[in-house]
Structure 1
């Protein structure tokens, strides 16, 4: 593990607030997956894929993907049951990883520069560890790798829900009791350390995403079942066997950037440094005064670290066909 390198800010585009990148519906293995494209702004840009966290969507990557469009030809997907994608059959980390693998294979763009936030971090670690041929570099932002102290996460309050039969019905009822505007504010406060960094445009987009959740009858079940899958993966990580996310992380060979926020309220702040220690070729960036979604809260800082990773791997002579 080493310290992340930050490229100069002037290498990034001027400050801007792009609208959500255009999306499209793609049939994949009999279900619809929603994909947003952030086209590259110059020839020769390399493919990138962005994977969101629990309760998030492809829209979480709008700013970062735009800032990196000079170097990366981006796509961001909605995982099954989230955003605008249809529900899936299973909501486990391996199942989500299978969907990411299938999308990379279906799109024919691999190997890709792979990004994951929170749940998406665990999913992309799974992909990078088991399918190194599909990954050029890996960027993890507050990855939800295993920790066992529920006091370290606001999500710990949901644990009793997992013991309730048909807990998703209770979750759906609870969702219906909260006004969308209130829910949007709660989401922002949980995910970022400084809410003033979130523009009015982004707040309205969060609200629009929440309205979609209210209309999707499958959303509560997808959320609860995914949370159950995360907890299950955390418990398995400390038991013998090949399914441990920590063992899979140790098998990652792609050059990796790990970003953590020191005011993360959803993932134990000790997880990002631990992840960087476990992944062999890693560099770590811990951000003071930043929460769970650094790509939303301080996208330019994250983009500078990503450029540092890309420059370093190019300088080291790591070709796409050698990555992983």
Structure 2
């Protein structure tokens, strides 16, 4: 585990709140994958791919992709069943990883700088562990890697749905009775530690996206089945066999940056340090007062960590030291504190 540092804030573009980047549907292997593209603003920009979390979409990367456009030519995809992508046949980590692999192969842009948040982080770990030829660097933001104490996650309240036959139908019935405004507020409260950091424009965009997804007949089933697949992957990771995400993480050879929020209410904050300890060439930064979607809540801090990481990865890495823990408003290098991990063991 290496020390994560922060790029100087004044070298980033001036603060602005761009609208979601333009998107387009692409038919791939018989179904539509929706992709948003953030055009590069620098001449030597390298390809990047952004993968969202459970219930999210490619819009979750709007701010970060814009801040990194001088270095990265970004694409953000909607996973099957989410955003504006058509539903998939299966909603498991391996099936989502297969779609990401197929997308990279289809576009011919690999190897890419791969970013994943939450569910997208577990998908990115699967891709990087199995297809190292497609991944230049890996950035994981609150990755949903295995932990067994679901009392440490608001998602634990969904576990009874998995034991109910046709639980997705019950979920659809409940979702239909929640006003989009209420759902948007609940989602923000679950994912964000300080709601004052979210602009009115981003709130309006989130509300509009919820309205659109509620019109999709497949969405509730996709959500519940994906959650079931995620929980199954957690359980398999502590059993013998080849399906362990922790074993895949230990096999990753790409330089990796792990970013976690200490106020994360969906993924146990201990997962971040454990992930960085398991992945051989890793850096860790934990953000005080930040929740589950740091790229939405504090995009400039995440961009500064990513730019410093990308620069270091292009040159030589520093000597191994402990993880960094910083507040979201700090402008200097990340300060190092002794790390302690307790969320799972590598197989």
Please indicate the TM-score interval, normalised by the length of the shorter structure. over 0.9
Unaligned runs of 5+ in 2: 318-347
| Equivalent residues in 2 for 1:301-312, closer than 5 Å | 301-312=301-312
For residues 278 and 314 of structure 1, what CA distance do their matches in structure 2 show?
Answer: 22
User: How far off its partner does 1:213 sit?
Assistant: 1.6
1:21 has 2:21 as partner = yes
Q: Name the SS of the counterpart of 2:49 in structure 1.
A: strand
The CA deviation at 1:2 is: 1.7
The corresponding residue for 1:290 is: 290
Q: Which residue of 2 aligns with 1:100?
A: 100
Query: What is the CA deviation profile of residues 32-66 of structure 1, one whole-angstrom value per residue up to 9, with x for unaligned ones?
Result: 00000000002110000000000000000000000
Hey, what's the Cα distance between the residues in 2 that align with 1:282 and 1:84? 33
SS of the residue corresponding to residue 177 of structure 1 reads coil
What residue is the counterpart of 1:322 in the other structure? none
* Alignment match, 1:175: 175
Q: Which structure 1 segments of 5+ residues have no match?
A: 318-324
What are the superposed Cα offsets for residues 239-273 of structure 1, whole Å, 9 maximum, x if unpaired?
00111000000000000000000000000010000
SS of the aligned residue for 2:90 comes to: coil
Other-structure match for 2:207: 207
Name the count of aligned residue pairs: 317
Show the counterpart of 1:321: none
Match of 1:82 in 2: 82
Using the size of structure 2 for normalisation, the TM-score is 0.91
Query: Aligned residue for 1:143?
Result: 143
Structure 1 segments of 4+ aligned residues over 3 angstroms from their partners: none
Which residue of 2 is the match for residue 66 of structure 1? 66
Q: TM-score, normalised by structure 1?
A: 0.97
Residue 3 of structure 1, CA deviation: 2.0
| Residue 57 of structure 1: aligned partner | 57
**Matched position secondary structure for 1:307:** helix
Equivalents in 2 of 1:147, 1:184: separation in Å? 27
Superimposed CA distance per residue, residues 284-303 of structure 1 (whole angstroms, 9 cap, x where no aligned partner): 00000000000000000000
CA distance in 2, matches of 1:251, 1:12: 33
Deviation at 1:78, TM superposition (A): 0.1
Q: Distance in 1 between matches of 2:165 and 2:57?
A: 27
Distance in 2 (alpha carbons) for counterparts of 1:56 and 1:147: 21
